[in-house]
Structure 1
């Protein structure tokens, strides 16, 4: 039984361009499709230098996959999980882990990147059409705990049996890096979508980018990021009962009754991590308290 996805995750970078390029002919439009961080990906740029810019964006996404992806056996993250130690880790891995550690602290440990052993257990059981046994869940829980991670610029070490997942922050991080690359190219007024949204400026014709939340509410996104997370957005069963966001304290899918939680922040990586973490918080007041530690972060729409 496959893990069921309730929504398609895609990556579409540079859906708009410099105002000066707004009248470029259709022949300047470039579309690339492929895979990134385990999801279908596409980049569309309508710009005289669109092909060259697309290549650079693709190369940056590929570089980040070699660091952060669980789907590439040779990636830095996969190597760390397999060997338990990674000497001289890339800056991007350290940055993602440091951000995740900050969100872990802000949620009292509910958000924990070391959840991967539990996630793998649930995914394996789902592939067999069942749920994990209580004893197996408890055994996997013993290998979960951010306090057991040793992290500094010299190396990262995990205790035997541990593994990390950056799925709750990685898509947003990629959006931030693509935004930085495009900004360095002199581009502005771009909406980047990696499953989480990152607005570099606003719309070319003026105003913020119109975004509609699942609740039906609308907002304008300008020089800001938005991430949404749904406990049942991906499920481990066809019945849609067991969601993909696991509580490290119990080893079970979160029982908090959120449908979708949307968080905006200056950084897509921050918004991504906070939206995932919010699904583990018991009430809206707890979410608001969590956000106070992150400059510019706010809860969007109703929950």
Structure 2
């Protein structure tokens, strides 16, 4: 008997790793085949997208989607991890904090909005010569990561709270995949000359999926699974196909002249029963499946 298949949206609490959430999902659904479309740090909360069963093959189309975060940036000190869990490296004096004007902060944020070049945090999960950067950093090795191009389409300040020791900014950020919010906090603090780090981080959106749709880790179960067809359609758009066309796609055949039936590629081929046949791409005027989901024809 086939195991569960689908996409699960989980609202990760603070204090557990993303792997912990995957482990709980494996136990709750009694399956080993669970993957994720991007992790969150233990400190962070919010949306994780998990693939279960054959639907893990859809994660490649989800991992690169734009994301939304809500965060609190503390200006006035920097840390070794660019968040509250690291060791304090620098601390600004009260005069420097008092001199932080709204205009100066807004200008610093504006400089970090749009297409920017960002050096990821040294405790990120990026691999360097086959090893995670955070493992190298924790081992005391010097970690030099290369800058990468990212896009921050929104960087809004929702609230400001000041004291003699710090200025806290509650912010909302829309960004491309691969953007590090900790690095935004670090770079804003550096630009303002006072240091900066994150004290809170919550991911609220990945592509079309919102954290409000997510399941708490203690409530994970099969009822929370989104069907592969629903997820692929939400991410890619749908190409409805007939029963005969679905069979042809599953057998590796092209659909002659079908490219004009859908606006963009890749797209999700969905059969008359509402099941996902697979992901299709254009081949000239034709359409060909580049990824089929085993067993979906009987879903």
The TM-score with structure 2 as length reference comes to 0.24
When you count strand as a share of all residues, which structure comes out higher? 2
Query: Which protein shows a greater Rg?
Result: 2
When you count helix as a share of all residues, which structure comes out higher? 1
The TM-score with structure 1 as length reference comes to 0.23
